[in-house]
Structure 1
Amino acid sequence: MENALWDRLSVEVHALVDGLVSAGRNVHALAVMREHAGLPTPSLHECVDLLDQRFTVLRQGPTSS
C-alpha cells in the first residue's frame, strides 16, 4: 500500500492503528496517526484518507501470492 502518511509511521504504530481500525475505534486511530506521524502534523483529511485505505485493506484480508 502506498501512502506517504503510512510510510511515516513505525511498524509498531501500523499494528496499533490496524488493531484500532479492526475494533471500530476510528477516532482513536486518527488520534494515534496524528500523534505519531511527527512534524508536520498530518491534516485530519490525510488521516481519514489513510483510515479508509486501512479499512479496505483489512476488510480484504491477506492476499495470496
Structure 2
Amino acid sequence: MANNQQNQNASKTNPQEVKRQNQQSAQNQGQKTEFASETDAQEVRRQNQQSNQRKQQASSKGQQQQ
C-alpha cells in the first residue's frame, strides 16, 4: 500500500516548482532569445527575394507551355 501512495503523490503538481519556473520565465522575458539574436534580417530578406524570383520564373514558364 505504501507504493500506491508514493505513485499517487508522484503524479501531483509541485506548486513550489511551478512558482519557481514562472519566476524564472518572467525574468527571461526581458532578454533576447538566442534565435532572435542570431537571425540576420538582411540575409532573410535576400533569401525571400530569391525565392520570389524563382516562383515568378516558374510561373512564367508554366504560362508559356499552355
Query: Which structure features the higher share of helix residues?
Result: 2
Normalising by structure 1, report the TM-score: 0.32
